[in-house]
A and B are shown apart, each in its own frame.
Chain A
Amino acid sequence: MKFFNSNRRNKEKWLKIMRVTVIQIFLAILFAGVSYSKDSRAQINMDQRLDLDMHDAKLEKILEKIEKITDAKFVYSINVINLNQKISVDAKSETLDEILNEVLVKSGIGYYVYNNLIVLGPFSGNDVGLASLYTPAIISVYTADIEVHGKITNSAGEPLIGVTVKAKSGGTGTVTDGNGEYTIVVPTDAVLDVSYVGYQAQEVPVNGRRTIDIVLSAAVSELNQLVVVGYGTQRKRDVTGTVSTISGDAIENVPVSNAASALEGKASGVGIVFTNGQPGGVPSIRIRGTGTINNADPLVVIDGVPAGGLNDVNPNDIASIEILKDASSSAIYGARAANGVVLITTKSGSYNQPMKVTLNYYTGSNKVIKDLDLLKAPDLAMLKQEAYTNDGLPVPPIWTDPNTAVNRTDWQKALFKTGTVNNVDVALRGGGENSIYSFSGNYYNESGIIPLSGFKRYSLRINSDHKIGKHLKVGERVTYSNTIARGPNTSSSAPNTSSAQNGVVWSALRFNPSIPVKNPDGSWGTAQGNNELGDINNPLTTIYENSGYAKIDRILANAFAELEIVEGLKIRANYGYDQSTNEGYNFSVATPTQTRGPSTSSLGQNFSKTKTFLEEYFLTYDKNFNGVHKINLVAGYSSQVFKGNHFSAFRSGYTDVSPDSRVLDLGQNASNGGTSDNSFGLQSAFVRANYAYREKYLLTATFRADGSSKFAPGKRWGYFPAFSVGWRISDEKFFQNVKVINSLKLTGGWGQLGNQNIGDFQYLNIITLGAGSFSYNFGESNNSVNGAYITSLPNPVITWEKAEMTNLGLDFSAFNNHISGTITYYNKTTSDMLVLAQLVQTYGDADLPNVNQGEINNRGVEIDLDYNNTIGKWSFSVGGNASFLHNEVTRLYGNTSYLGAPLYGRTNTDISRTYEGQPIASFFGFRTDGIYQNQKEIDDDVNITNDPNKGNIKPGDVRFVDITGDGVVDDEDRGYIGDPNPSFAYGFHGSVNYANFDFSFSFSGVAGVQLYNADRLAGLYSPGVFNWYAEQINRWHGEGTSNSIPRVSKQDLNDNYRSSDLWVQNGSFLSLKSIALGYTVADKTIGNLKIPDLRVYVSSHNVFYLTKYKGYTPEIGYHNNSNLMRGVDFAQYPQSRNFTVGATINF
Chain B
Amino acid sequence: MKNKNRSLIFTSALLVICALGCNKDPLDQHPIGKYTTENYWRNEADVLAGINGVYNALYSNDWMGHEMYVFGDQSQNIAVKGDHPDYILVGNLHADPTLLVLSSVWDGAYEQIARANNAIMAIPNVPPGINEDIRNRSLGEAYFLRAYAYFQLNLIFGEVPLILEENVLTNSYNIAKSSIDSVRAQVESDLLKAFDLLPESYDAADKGRVSKGTAAGVLCKLYMVEDKFDKAIEYGSKVVNSSNYALAPNYADNFTSGRQEANTELLFQIMNHSQQTPNTQSSEWGIYYAPRAWQGWGFHHPTQNFVDEFGPNDTIRKKATFLAVGDSIPNQTNLITIDASNAYQMFAGKVGEQTGRLLPSMTTTGYVLRKFVAYESDGSGQIDRGLKEPILRSADIYLLVAEAKIRLNGPGSGDAEINAVRARVNLDPVANAGMPELIHERIVELGGENIIWQDQLRWDKDKIINLDTIVDKPRMSSPLPPYNHSVVVPARVFTRPKDYYMPIPQKIIDQSGGVITQNPNY
> What is the interface of chain A, defined by CB distance below 8 A to chain B?
469, 471-472, 561, 563, 565-566, 571, 573, 575, 613, 615, 617, 639-641, 669-671, 675-683, 707-709, 716, 760-761, 764-769, 771-791, 838-846, 896-897
B10:A840 contact, CB within 8 angstroms: no
B209 close to chain A: CB less than 8 A: yes
Give 14 pairs: A residue, B residue, CB < 8 Å, sorted on A.
A681-B25, A683-B27, A774-B281, A776-B56, A776-B271, A777-B280, A780-B204, A781-B204, A781-B205, A784-B279, A785-B52, A840-B511, A841-B103, A846-B111
Q: Are A682 and B26 in contact (CB under 8 A)?
A: yes
Cβ of B351 under 8 Å from chain A: no
Instruction: Out of B26, B27, B57, B281, name the residue touching A777 (CB < 8 Å).
Output: B281
> Besides the contacts A769-B40, A779-B208, A782-B386, what 10 more A-B pairs have beta carbons closer than 8 Å?
A613-B21, A640-B23, A641-B26, A677-B32, A708-B27, A768-B34, A779-B204, A784-B281, A786-B49, A842-B173
B512 at the interface (CB under 8 A from A): yes
A777:B53 contact, CB within 8 angstroms: no
Task: Select one of A571, A683, A773, A788 contacting B26, CB under 8 A.
Answer: A683
Alpha-carbon distance A471/B1, docked complex (angstroms): 10
Q: Which residues of A contact B17 (CB under 8 A)?
A: 573, 575
Q: How far is the CA of A783 from the CA of B277 in the complex (A)?
A: 11
Bound state CA distance, A840 and B32, in angstroms?
29
Of the candidates A613, A641, A760, A782, the one whose C-beta lies within 8 Å of that of B31 is: A760
Q: In the complex, how many residue pairs between chain A and chain B have their CB atoms under 8 Å apart?
A: 231
State which of B26, B508, B516 has its C-beta within 8 Å of the C-beta of A709.
B26
Interface size class of B (residues with CB under 8 A): 35 or more
The answer, yes or no, to whether B207 is at the interface (CB within 8 Å) is: yes
Q: Is A778 touching B208 in the complex (CB atoms < 8 A)?
A: yes
Residues from 111 to 140 in B contacting A, C-beta threshold 8 Å = 111-115, 118
> Which residues of A have CB within 8 Å of B281?
772-777, 784
Chain B residues in 8 Å Cβ range of A843: 110, 114, 163, 173
Return chain A residues, CB-CB under 8 Å to B56: 773-776, 787, 789
B 501-522 to A, binary, CB cutoff 8 A, 1 in contact else 0: 0000001101110011000000
Which residue of the partner chain, among A615, A707, A788, contacts B27 with CB atoms under 8 Å? A707
Contact of A789 among B118, B280, B512 (CB under 8 A): B118
B278 lies within 8 A of A671 (CB): yes
Q: Which A residue's beta carbon lies closest to that of B515?
A: A840
B15 to chain A, nearest CB (A): 11
Smallest Cβ distance from B148 to chain A, in angstroms?
15
A791 and B50 CA atoms in complex are apart in Å by 12
Complex formed: what's the CA distance from A844 to B163 in Å?
A: 10
A788 near B35 with CB under 8 A, answer: yes
B341 at the A interface (CB under 8 A): no
**Pick from A565, A784, A789, A840: contact of B7, CB under 8 Å:** A565
Most B CB within 10 A of own CB, among A565, A761, A787: A787
Given contacts A565-B3, A775-B280, A780 and B207 within 8 Å (CB-CB) = yes
Query: A772: which of B3, B25, B103, B280 is its contact (CB, 8 Å)?
Result: B280
> Residues of B contacting A775 with CB < 8 Å?
52, 56, 279-281
Contact A709 B33 (CB under 8 A): no
Q: Are B36 and A841 touching (Cβ within 8 A)? A: no
Which of B1, B33, B57 is close to A676, meaning CB atoms less than 8 Å apart?
Answer: B33
- Expressed in whole angstroms, the Cα–Cα distance for A565 and B209 within the complex equals 74
For the complex formed, measure the closest distance between the CB of A477 and the CB atoms of chain B, giving whole angstroms. 17
Q: Which residues of B contact A774 (CB under 8 A)?
A: 52-53, 56, 281
Q: Which residue of B lies closest to A790 (CB)?
A: B118
* A555, chain B: closest CB distance, angstroms: 15
The closest CB in chain A to the CB of B35 belongs to: A767
Cα–Cα distance between A639 and B27 once the two chains are bound (Å): 9
- Say if the beta carbon of B55 comes within 8 Å of chain A: yes
Is there a chain A Cβ closer than 8 Å to B431's Cβ? no
- Is B243 close to A, CB under 8 A? no
Q: Are A615 and B163 in contact (CB under 8 A)?
A: no
| Nearest-CB residue, chain B, relative to A472 | B6
List the B residue with the shortest CB-CB distance to A676.
Answer: B32
The contact of B173 among A561, A787, A840, by CB within 8 Å, is A840
- Write the nearest CB–CB distance from B204 to chain A, whole angstroms: 5
| B279 touches which of A471, A680, A681, A771 (Cβ 8 Å) | A771
Contacts of A771 in B (CB 8 A): 279
In the complex, A842→B112 CA distance in Å?
Answer: 11
Is there contact, CB below 8 Å, between A779 and B279? no
Which residues of chain A have C-beta atoms less than 8 A from B173's C-beta? 839-840, 842-843
Hey, which chain B residues are within 8 Å of A671, CB to CB? 278-279
What are the residues of chain B within 8 A of A764 when measuring CB–CB?
31, 36-38
Q: Which residues of B contact A613 (CB under 8 A)?
A: 21, 23
Inter-subunit contact A785/B36 (CB<8 Å): no
Q: Which A residues are CB-close (under 8 A) to B108?
A: 845
Which residue of chain A is the closest to B18 with respect to CB atoms?
A615
B241 at the interface (CB under 8 A from A): no
**Interface residue B75 (Cβ < 8 Å from any Cβ of A):** no
Tell me which of B18, B35, B106, B113 contacts A766 (CB under 8 A): B35
**Top 5 A-B pairs, shortest CB-CB distance:** A681-B26, A844-B114, A789-B53, A844-B111, A787-B52
CB distance from B283 to the nearest CB of A (A): 11
Known: A682-B26, A780-B261. A787 touches B53 (CB 8 A): yes
Residue from B1, B27, B112, B271 in contact with A778 in the complex, judged by beta carbons closer than 8 Å: B271
A575 CA / B13 CA spacing, docked (Å): 13
- Are A896 and B280 within 8 A (Cβ)? no
Which residues does chain A contribute within 8 Å of B7, judged by CB atoms?
A: 563, 565
| A846 vs B510: C-alpha distance when bound (angstroms) | 19
Contact A782 B261 (CB under 8 A): yes
Q: Which residue of B lies closest to A761 (CB)?
A: B31
| A777 touching B279 in the complex, CB below 8 Å, given contacts A681-B23, A709-B26, A784-B273 | no
Contact A767 B511 (CB under 8 A): no
A561 partner residues in chain B, CB cutoff 8 A? 10, 13-14
Q: Please state if B205 and A783 are interface contacts (CB–CB under 8 Å).
A: yes
- Cα distance A640–B23 in the bound complex, in angstroms: 7
How far does the alpha carbon of A845 sit from the alpha carbon of B60 in the complex, in Å? 11
Most buried by B among A615, A677, A790: A790
Task: Report chain A residues within 8 Å CB of B272.
Answer: 777
B329: interface (CB < 8 Å)? no
**A472 surroundings in chain B (CB, below 8 A):** 6, 10
Chain B residues lying within 8 Å of A471, measured Cβ to Cβ, are 3, 6
In the complex the two chains form, is B23's CB within 8 Å of A767's CB? no
B9 to chain A, nearest CB (A): 9
* Residues in B neighbouring A681, C-beta threshold 8 A: 23, 25-29
Docked-complex contact A469 and B1, CB < 8 angstroms: yes
Query: Chain B residue with minimal CB distance to A766?
Result: B34
Q: Which one, B13, B21, B49, B204, contacts A788 given CB within 8 A?
A: B49
Please name all residues of chain B whose beta carbon is closer than 8 Å to the beta carbon of A708 when the two chains form the complex: 27
- Bound complex: CA of A640 vs CA of B25, how far in Å? 10
- Report the minimal beta-carbon distance from A466 to chain B, rounded to whole angstroms: 14
Chain A residues lying within 8 Å of B111, measured Cβ to Cβ, are 844-846
Interface pair B205/A765, CB less than 8 Å apart: no
From A680, A777, A787, contact of B49 by CB (8 A): A787
Q: What is the minimal beta-carbon distance from A747 to any residue of chain B, in angstroms? A: 35
Which B residues are in CB contact (< 8 Å) with A777? 208, 271-273, 280-281
| Chain A positions within 8 Å of B206 at CB level | 778-779
For B114, the chain A residues whose CB sits under 8 A away are: 790, 843-846
Q: Separation in Å of the A648 CB from the closest CB of chain B?
A: 13
Q: What sequence of 0s and 1s flags, for each residue 367-396 of chain B, a beta carbon within 8 Å of any chain A beta carbon?
A: 000000000000000000010000000000
Contact B510 A789 (CB under 8 A): no
Is B174 an interface residue when CB atoms closer than 8 A count as contact?
Answer: yes
Could you tell me the distance between the alpha carbons of A760 and B3 in the complex, rounded to whole angstroms? Answer: 46
Q: Is the CB of B23 within 8 A of A641?
A: yes
Q: How far is the CB of A644 from chain B (nearest CB, A)?
A: 10
Among the interface residues B28, B108, B175, which one has the most CB atoms of the partner chain A within 10 A? B28
| Option from B53, B55, B262 in Cβ contact (under 8 Å) with A780 | B262
Are A765 and B21 neighbours in the complex by a CB distance under 8 Å? no
Residues of B near A783 (CB, < 8 A) are 205
Partner of B29, one of A709, A767, A779, A839: A709
Q: Are B511 and A841 touching (Cβ within 8 A)?
A: yes
